Amino acid sequence: MCYTFFMEKKFRPVLTVRIFGGDKCFGPGVAELLRRVEQEKSLRAAAISMAMAYSKAWTVIRNSEAELGFKLLISTTGGKNGGGASLSPEAKRLLAAYDGYCAKLRSYAAEEFERSFSEIL
């Protein structure tokens, strides 16, 4: 008995964008961490949601801030309303620009991929 299985695969390009100054300062990991800080209102909660140590999250943020030359987070310490974190205005603009740029690249890459590989894959 002969069985033939046809598996249709949909091939696609996968791009990741990393921004470098002297060193890498921004990319998908930092962007996701910032999105989660915005959602959770806390770096600690954002780190936990990504299964990342809080100390690692702070290191990522500090390294990015040092390379970029501006603050990414505005932190508030405990007290009556508890502590928390929010994105700086520069971080909001950077994240929006990064997301827009990545969307444009993905769109272009999908079109170019189709032109280049449609007869092969």
Topology, domain 22-117: Arc Repressor Mutant, subunit A (1.10.10)
Phi then psi for 61, rounded to 5 degrees?
-65, -50
pLDDT at 103 over 60: yes
Tokens 């949601």, residue located? 49
Across the chain, mean pLDDT equals 91
Indicate the pTM of the whole model: 0.85
Q: What is the pLDDT of residues 60-87, one digit of tens each?
A: 999 999 999 999 999 988 766 677 999 9
Q: How confident is the model at residue 10 (pLDDT cuts 50, 70, 90)?
A: confident
Q: What is the pLDDT of residues 24-49, one digit of tens each?
A: 899 999 999 999 999 999 999 999 99
Please report how the helices 28-40 and 54-68 are oriented relative to each other, as an axis angle in degrees rounded to 10: 110
